[in-house]
Amino acid sequence: MKKITIADVAKRANVSKSTISQYLNKRYDYMSEETRKKIEATIKELNYQPNIIARSLKQKTTYTVGVVVANILHTFSTHVIRSVEDFFHEHNFHIIVCNADDQPEKERNYIEMLRAKQVDGIIIFPTGGNIDLYEQMKKDRFPVVFMDRTIEELAIETVMLDNRLAARLAVDHFVQQGYERIAIVTTSIIRKISPRVERIQGYKDALESHGIEINPAYIRSADAGELPAVLHDLFQSDPSPQAILAGNDIVLIEVLKFMHQRRLKIPDDVAVIGIDEVPFAGFYSPPITTVAQPAKEMAKEAAERLLRQIRKEEGRGEEPLIKRFAPTLIVRDSSGKPH
């Protein structure tokens, strides 16, 4: 069976091939509504399927971008992926999502695969373990935007949270409620992953601003699988903490499991705040106080920056290389006053 071509569609619709091309690229500026409807009907009638490969070769673009997340289990990551997909769908791009599992080697494989597939650009939640690869992309002027994490010496466009402020909001609230023995627990900081390091620093700065001595025993970090043992060890401290700041949603879940297993009441025995809003926060018993990231706005900013790089457009004014968004404290019952 003969494959239907753009010339066949043009002939049947009685328009030029360039008009069909403009229609396929959604350039309707000088096209009447009647012509648009006629072309649409002809495409359906002939069951015409555009040759995406040929189109990519001609226009020197694949209309595809990659998103490499460090850990897809984070609620923030899934919200960002959804918002990035929405944005690029509106601009007729497809996205390929890859999960690095916080493993630099896995991240490397995915970035190399995406570049081999000639995607037009990549949004990366960097593991921090592939500096040479990031540097090569920058040298090649390949469109790339970092999300959630930054490596400042590389000078790559980055969109992330004001992490120090996120921790400060939580600590300030704990102190206002009357807590002084405040702990922070994060996932591993072995590769100095910026949000975790910055949140710990924000926690320290906030305690110092309130004149509360920093207790190193109350600062803990570990891989997700080791968190139960870390929490057990934390509560062997004398005195044990009155309040815990969970550095992200994965830590929060482990904290809540630990509390349940030990039959510790929140906030009567231990108050809890988690950084990152989670779907169950509002109906957990008691409802969990969280520090929320504006994931949708952050994703849109990252996607816009990537698209401008792909289109080789100049930035809007004097935009900062690293754009930080302000977090929001959502107060619920888990951080109430001590009894």
* Boundaries of every domain in the chain: 6-50, 61-160+295-325, 163-294+328-335
Which pLDDT value is given to residue 30? 80
| pTM of the predicted model as reported, rounded to 2 decimal places | 0.83
Q: What is the tens place of the pLDDT at every residue in 212-247?
A: 999 999 999 998 899 999 999 999 999 999 999 999
Give the Cα separation of 126 and 100 in Å (integer). 9
C-alpha dihedral sign at 54, 55, 58, 63: negative
> For the chain, which ranges sit under pLDDT 50?
none
- Looking at residue 130, its pLDDT comes to 94
Let me know if domain 163-294+328-335 sits in CATH 3.40.50.2300. yes
**pLDDT (0 to 100) of residue 316:** 58
Q: What CATH code is assigned to 6-50?
A: 1.10.260.40
CA distance 213 to 94: 51
Nearest of 8, 88, 93, 19 to residue 42 by alpha carbon = 8
Fold annotation for 61-160+295-325: Rossmann fold (3.40.50)
Q: Do domains 61-160+295-325 and 163-294+328-335 have the same CATH topology?
A: yes
The closest alpha carbon to 222, from 190, 261, 253, belongs to: 190
pLDDT value at residue 317: 58
Q: Which long-range contacts (C-beta less than 8 Å, at least 24 apart) are formed by 85-93?
A: 87/299, 87/300, 87/303, 87/304, 87/307, 88/303, 88/307, 91/307, 92/25, 92/26, 92/63, 93/63, 93/64, 93/65, 93/120
Work out the widest C-alpha separation in the chain, in whole angstroms.
85
pLDDT number for residue 56: 54
